[in-house]
Each structure stands twice: as structure tokens, then as C-alpha cells.
Amino acid sequence: MGFSVGIVGLPNVGKSTLFKALTKKQVEIANYPFTTIKENVGVVKVPDERLDKLAEVLKPKEVIPTHIEFFDIAGLVKGAHKGEGLGNQFLAKIRETDLICHLIRNFEAKNVPHPAGEINPKRDLEIVNLELIMADLSTLEKRLEKVRKEAKRGDKKAIKNLTILEKIKDGLEKGFSVRDLNLTEEEKIEIKDLNLLTIKPVIYVLNISEEDIGETISGIGEAIPICAKLEAELSELSPEEEKEYLASYGLKKSQLDDLIVAAYKTLNLITFFTCQNEILQAWTVKKGEKVPAAGGKIHTDFEKGFIKAEVINWEDLVKVGSEYLAREKGLLRIEGKEYEVKDGDVIHFYFKR
């Protein structure tokens, strides 16, 4: 099980370049708006050193990492909610994702014109945020029209929903994202089917120039600085060449790792591992997920017929050298249905067929 990320931003901010770097897929890149006229979708393996170390011990025939699915859509422009540009046509795809990656341009390039004529990250961020808010407002107003009619007829559920929807509408009209309205869990459940864009968690990425790598960039809060151009170039190199190229910029690893870590942290995700039928596999679940539900990510039978789970921390398994020795030393423990999966757990599920 993986998760999905939608990349949004103005035209010519480097979304397709970042997408290429992330997925190592060749996508059309050109120096004019609306190059992306349909969404690009790429599945990215999440690098995890723990898998490599577990593979040395367990010696599986196949190793399957967890993954992230990235969606790259056409750039959003000012007025997108009114039909301007092409980006608004693909927002439905972003509604289906778990997380929004908002890419903001902070590099000068004469051959890559900025739609607004000058570089201004704060302004660009506000433009895109406003377009997402207006798109949500449009979605909300359609639902409100229906709910108001039902509430007038005395429908109790509609009356309750009307209060929630009007609260959200008021916040959106004031320029607030839904995620900032402090909705209760119950309220979030009531509007879940609307797939509102601004309720989704978001990470901001500042696309910087090669000259700014390693420099302190200010102005956009906790934005992650990434040079998409450099990362795209790295994606075409061998591991040895990549290491040498990174060193020339004073970097020890790809900046994309920071993006992946931020995505996991923002979504409150952890990874557990299974090794069955000679397949070592990583799985992603929410922190606090109980073991039967985690098993359900693998197969519904694991959750429905759950009996128990045999669990060991990955480091303990690597240190002892084999599952046999781990069992002999009493390091494998039995956990019941109330156990909360921990990051790095290696789990064997027992269930009724």
C-alpha cells in the first residue's frame, strides 16, 4: 500500500521537471504555459535502507518497497476557477490524492518566462491557494443548494449538514482553507465525500536555482528548497555518477529524500514489513493503526479472520541474523488485536481462512 500526491503550481514553475526527477519518467517539458495538457501519473518507489538490511538477513527472492503515486497536472493560473487556463480541468485528479505538493518558483531564467512577469514566491503561493479555495467554494455551493431544499422539508440530517456546510462556506469566503477551520472529526466525516481540495494536507516546495543550493531561503514558512533542474539531471546518472555530482554541490543525498520524509511526516505515516512466500515487502499505514487493520492493507482475510500477529523490530531481527535465532532467543513476540503497529515492525499474520 502506498499513497498519492498531487503536484500543483502556476505554469512554468518546474512541475514537470520535478515530476521527471521523482519518477525518472520522460515527460514533455517546454518553456511555455500549458505544456502539460493531460495529467502525468508516476509511481515512485520509496527508498528504505531497512529493506536492504532485512534482505541480507532474510534472503528473499523478491523485495517490494512501498510507493508514492504522483500526479502532475497543468499549471493553474489566476482565474482558473472561472475556466481560465487548463489546470482547473484536472483538479478532479488532485481531489483523489492524499496530499498536495505545492511547487513555488524561486529561480530566474530568461528562457523560462514567468506568467506574471517577475519572480514573487509569496504572490504565487497566494494565487494558487485562492484558486483552490474558489474551486472548493464552487463544489460547496452545489451541495448547499441541494441540502437547503432537504432542510426546508424538515430532513434532520440535512439540517445538521446545513450548519456544517454554511460554517465552511463562511470560512472559504473569508479566504481560509478548510484545513484551517478547526473542524471536528465528526464534521470531517460528514463532508468527506466532497473531496475538498483545501482540507487536504499540503507541503510547500520552493524550486530554487543551482546557485541557491545550500543557501538559507526565506519568505515561504517551512517550504522545502529543491532544485528540480539538478534533481532531473541526477535522475539520468548512474549511482556512482550521482554521488559524485551531489558532492560537487556539497550534498550527501538527493533533496527529494526531504520531500518523501516530509510527506510521510505530514500524513502521519509509518512503515511495517512482511516476509512471506519469499517476498519481503514494505507497507504504509497511519501511525496508531491496530494490527488487524494493518493486515487488512495486505488482504481483507488478514483483518476479518485475524487471530494473532508475530512481531519483531527490524533492528532486532538484523542483529540476531535470522528468524530462527530470533524465535530461539525469544525476540519474536505474540500480539493481539489491540496492538498498535510500530514503525519498523516485521510482522507475520495468523488468521482464519
Closest CA to 191 of 180, 204, 178, 201: 178
Which pLDDT band holds residue 241 (cuts at 50, 70, 90)? very high
- What local confidence, expressed as pLDDT, does residue 350 receive? 94
| Burial of 338: CB neighbours in 10 Å, binned 0-12, 13-18, 19+ | exposed
Q: What is the pLDDT of residues 322-338, one digit of tens each?
A: 888 998 999 999 999 99
Question: Using an 8 Å Cβ cutoff, are 194 and 168 in contact?
Answer: no
344 falls within a domain: yes
When divided into structural domains, the chain yields a total of 1
| pLDDT higher than threshold 60 for residue 33 | no
Q: Are 172 and 137 in contact (CB under 8 A)?
A: yes
> Residue 188 is which amino acid?
K
**pLDDT above 90 coverage of the chain, percent:** 51
In a domain, 188, yes or no: no
Q: Residue 264: its pLDDT value, please?
A: 85
Residue 30 has pLDDT above 70, yes or no: no
Give the gyration radius of the chain's Cα atoms: 23
Q: Which residue has the higher pLDDT, 76 or 243?
A: 243
Asked whether residue 312 is assigned to any structural domain, the reply reads yes
Between 342 and 43, whose confidence is greater?
342
In this structure, is residue 343 part of a structural domain? yes
* Crossing angle for the helix pair 15-23 and 256-267, to the nearest 10 degrees: 90
Gap between the Cα atoms of 131 and 324, Å rounded: 57
Strand bridging mode 67-72 / 40-45: antiparallel
Note down the domain range covering 336.
Answer: 288-351
**CATH, residue 321:** 3.10.20.30
Does residue 317 sit within a domain?
yes
Question: Does residue 254 lie in a domain region?
Answer: no
pLDDT tens column, 83-137: 555 545 567 778 888 999 999 999 888 888 787 788 888 999 998 899 899 989 9
Q: What percent of the chain has pLDDT over 70?
A: 88
3-state secondary structure of 1: coil
Q: Based on the number of CB atoms within 10 Å of its own CB, is 243 exposed (0-12), middle (13-18) or buried (19 or more)?
A: middle
Residue 75 predicted with pLDDT over 80: no
- Whether residue 38 is predicted with pLDDT greater than 60 in this model: the reply is no
Q: Which helix (H) or strand (E) holds 324?
A: helix 323-328
One-character DSSP codes across 120-131: -HHHHHHHHHHH
pLDDT at 74: 64
82 has a pLDDT exceeding 70: no
DSSP sequence for 140-193: HHHHHHHHHHHHHTT-HHHHHHHHHHHHHHHHHHTT--GGGS---HHHHHHTGG
Residue 28 has pLDDT above 60, yes or no: no
Q: What is the pLDDT of residue 219?
A: 61
- Note whether residue 243 is domain-resident: no
With 70 as the cut, is the pLDDT of residue 293 above it? yes
- Going from the C-alpha of 345 to that of each of 8, 51, 315, 320, 332, the distances in angstroms are 34, 12, 9, 15, 11
Domain assignment present for residue 310? The answer is: yes
What are the angstrom distances between the C-alpha of 329 and each of 95, 274, 316, 334?
49, 20, 11, 14
